[in-house]
Amino acid sequence: MASSSCNCAKPQISHPLSSASSSTVHLGHSPTSISWNSRQPNRTHNISIIHSALHSPSVLHFPKQPYQNPLIPIEDDSVNVQVQPKTHRHPQWNLLQRAAAMALDMAESALTHIQHPLPKTADPHVQISGNFAPVPEQPVKQALPVTGTIPSCINGVYLRNGANPLFEPVAGHHFFDGDGMVHAVTIDNGNASYACRFTETQRFLQEKELGRPVFPKAIGELHGHSGIARLLLFYARGLFGLVDHKQGTGVANAGLVYFNNRLLAMSEDDLPYHLRISPSGDLETVGRYNFDDQLESTMIAHPKIDPFSKELFALSYDVIQKPYLKYFKFQPDGTKSPDVEIPLSMPTMMHDFAITENFVVIPNQQVLFKLQEMIFGGSPVIYDKNKKSSFGILSKNASDSKDIIWVESPDTFCFHLWNAWEEPESDEVVVIGSCMTPPDSIFNECDESLKSVLSEIRLNLKTGKSTRRPIISESEQVNLEAGMVNRNRLGRRTRYAYLAIAEPWPKVSGFAKIDLFTGEVKKYIYGDKKFGGEPFFLPRDDNCESAEDDGYIISFVHDENSWKSELQIVDAINLQLESSIKLPSRVPYGFHGTFIDAKSLINQA
């Protein structure tokens, strides 16, 4: 698959760069009066934007909320995030709209002042402090210092998505709520450049124009009666034409995929957004992308590309009305299949799924959306321990769901599934995923420590039974969360997985190469107060006959001592550091990434 392989052909990326010396490994809503469709310039003026220091610790100074034992400790408060006073702008509003805006702003202000103490999972002091704090956009910086030698077969762009709030939160904020920002490192024959840009979603453009946050935060704010009040305020603004919620409310901050010559940024609450990479290595947002009017619903942030057929497979879920879940696929030319409605009795969180050679594997787990819980003061995202977890096995080419096979897997919640494959000799589908307990601990505060256990789940299609076992021994057990297998073999039997060591949670101290057959674990630790994110495996080439681990691990790493960031490239066979690219600004901890080789970039749409 071109977008995720290390292609040794070297088409040129048109900018000169230079390299440096060697290194050793260190393990250690739609009114006619307003148009929101025009693309806004990247510069921002007179608006309350978070400006954070590039090389120093960032600490957000919000109105104090009591909390204890922050998940993300503030390591150094010597340099603060400077937040400019908010500027409320009224673009082309008539007198009625201005009066409505004033009244709704007063109601929001009153709501903010009576807000109860925030839990850790919604407290901005906790969720976006330290290197989880936002950074400003950076135009292309070229000729970056390189320590060691970048492997000659790596030519293209590594991109990683993340949550980066443009404005200071006015109420609760979860890390997942931030505006999408993509960080890009372009590599051209041993030379490197860096840029980071916001994905200019409809939400982002409207809030930027208004000079303040007005869209509800899906996780951090939508709790209890205050959450209901914020939703009512938001839709009231839409009713008066102050915002347009019909053009999408998503942040596009989670996944990235390169498909049909388009880079797409995604979050599961909206359509994807098409981004373009310039010849210099910069990024721009083309716009909200509906696959030429074929896609009319949201799409989850983890679509799958089959490495052999080159088809893209995806799901879409709805939290309000049936059908709660739909499956569809795209041919390599972008032609979409009809939707297949998956029968679910209640709206279920569907962050990820898996594919095999012939099937899609759909988790129906115990984390649900129950909006009515807000009436009783709770979160709309709940763990239902009385529900039975199961996996649905459906043919990739299905035109309806009548032949779906459901196999129960008790008490199983996997936020991510790393791979799946078929074993016809035993009538089983094998699923590899990280099983998380408590299942809703990312969204709701709890006393129990989070555990994420890499597991093998066997689903027998004949008996309808399942088994589950931890892959690594109890003595080696660590939280393994973000990561991947060799995507040239996705949906087929794989031996190795490369996963982030999410300790101390939620930071990532390194990554592990796990032998899925033997349970052997080899760890690469970044070192003293160095933390990273998702390890991205880049195969050396597209040859599926090559050794499965013949390639490189790429990851952003941040040093909390020096407050500087770098991109590390590690040999996946021996876990030795090959090279490090020093970055001109801080890269916050983020989510998922992809690699687009230079040859594929030439064909960008």
Domain ranges of the chain: 95-602
Q: What is the pLDDT of residue 115?
A: 62
What's the whole-number mean pLDDT along residues 141-161? 95
- Does position 49 have pLDDT exceeding 70, yes or no? no
Residue type, 421: W
Range in 46-50, 334-338, 524-528, 567-571 with the lowest mean pLDDT? 46-50
Edge to edge, the sheet with strand 156-163 lists 138-141, 191-198, 180-188, 156-163, 593-597
Band of pLDDT at residue 56, cut at 50, 70 and 90 = very low
d(CA 266, CA 187): 24
What tokens were used for 143? 């000729």
d(CA 274, CA 453): 34
Q: Do the Cβ atoms of 94 and 31 come closer than 8 Å?
A: no
The values of phi and psi at residue 76, to 5°, are -155, 125
In the chain the first and final C-alpha atoms are separated, in Å, by: 17
Q: Do the Cβ atoms of 579 and 242 come closer than 8 Å?
A: no
Helix (H) or strand (E) holding 394: strand 390-395
Tell me which of 231 and 361 has the higher pLDDT.
361
What's the whole-number mean pLDDT along residues 460-482? 89
Range in 59-63, 203-207, 290-294 with the lowest mean pLDDT? 59-63
Q: What is the pLDDT of residue 506?
A: 83
Edge to edge, the sheet with strand 405-408 lists 354-355, 359-364, 390-395, 405-408
Q: What is the pLDDT of residue 577?
A: 96
Torsion of CA 369, 372, 373, 374, to 10 degrees: 110
Q: How many Cβ atoms are within 10 Å of 545's Cβ, its own excluded? A: 5
Q: What is the pLDDT of residue 451?
A: 83
What's the whole-number mean pLDDT along residues 257-278? 94
d(CA 86, CA 49): 8
Q: Characterize 91-114 residue by residue with b for buried, 16 or more Cβ atoms within 10 angstroms of its Cβ, and e for exposed.
A: eebeeebeebbeebbeebeebeee
- Does position 24 have pLDDT exceeding 90, yes or no? no
d(CA 310, CA 398): 17
What's the whole-number mean pLDDT along residues 39-60? 38
Highest mean pLDDT among 199-203, 413-417, 501-505: 199-203
- Does position 567 have pLDDT exceeding 50, yes or no? yes
Q: Binding residue per annotation — 174?
A: no
Q: Binding residue per annotation — 302?
A: yes
Residue 237 C-beta-side C-alpha neighbours within 13 Å: 27
Q: How many Cβ atoms are within 10 Å of 333's Cβ, its own excluded? A: 7
Question: What is the bridge-based pairing of β-strands 354-355 and 273-277?
Answer: unpaired
Radius of gyration of the chain (CA): 23
CB neighbour list of residue 321: distance below 8 Å, 6 or more residues apart: none
Tell me which of 182 and 239 has the higher pLDDT.
182
d(CA 379, CA 383): 10
Residue type, 86: K
Percent helix, strand, coil in the chain (nearest 5)? 15, 30, 55
Q: What is the pLDDT of residue 75?
A: 39
- Does position 125 have pLDDT exceeding 90, yes or no? no
What's the whole-number mean pLDDT along residues 440-456? 71
Q: What CATH homologous superfamily does 95-602 map to? A: TolB, C-terminal domain (2.120.10.30)
d(CA 213, CA 215): 6
Which one, of 2, 71, 14, 42, lies nearest residue 186 by Cα? Answer: 14
Q: Do the Cβ atoms of 332 and 348 come closer than 8 Å?
A: no
- pLDDT tens figures, 302-357: 999 999 999 999 999 888 888 888 999 999 999 999 999 998 888 877 888 999 99
**CA 538 remoteness from chain centre:** 18
What tokens were used for 33? 């009066």
Beta strands in 168-322 (DSSP E): 180-188, 191-198, 255-259, 262-266, 273-277, 283-288, 304-305, 312-317
d(CA 183, CA 590): 10
Question: What is the bridge-based pairing of β-strands 340-342 and 325-330?
Answer: antiparallel
Q: Characterize 38-77 residue by residue with b for buried, 16 or more Cβ atoms within 10 angstroms of its Cβ, and e for exposed.
A: eeeeeebeebbbbebbbeebbbbebeebebeeebbeeeee
Q: Is 569 exposed, middle or buried (0-12, 13-18, 19+ CB in 10 A)?
A: buried
Percent of the chain, pLDDT > 70?
Answer: 81
Range in 70-74, 93-97, 272-276, 578-582 with the lowest mean pLDDT? 70-74
Q: What is the pLDDT of residue 217?
A: 81
d(CA 122, CA 126): 8
Q: Do the Cβ atoms of 601 and 15 come closer than 8 Å?
A: no
What's the whole-number mean pLDDT along residues 64-69? 32
Q: How many Cβ atoms are within 10 Å of 605's Cβ, its own excluded? A: 11
Which one, of 303, 358, 307, 330, lies nearest residue 490 by Cα? Answer: 307
What's the whole-number mean pLDDT along residues 235-239? 80
Tell me which of 278 and 387 has the higher pLDDT.
278
Which one, of 149, 156, 191, lies nearest residue 9 by Cα? Answer: 156
d(CA 420, CA 453): 16
Percent of the chain, pLDDT > 90?
Answer: 47
d(CA 415, CA 430): 17
Q: Do the Cβ atoms of 317 and 265 come closer than 8 Å?
A: no
Q: Binding residue per annotation — 558?
A: no
The chain-wide mean pLDDT, for the chain, equals 81
d(CA 171, CA 106): 15
At 425 the three-state DSSP class reads: helix
At 450 the three-state DSSP class reads: coil
- Does position 60 have pLDDT exceeding 50, yes or no? no
Q: What is the pLDDT of residue 138?
A: 93
Q: Binding residue per annotation — 51?
A: no
Q: Do the Cβ atoms of 161 and 178 come closer than 8 Å?
A: no
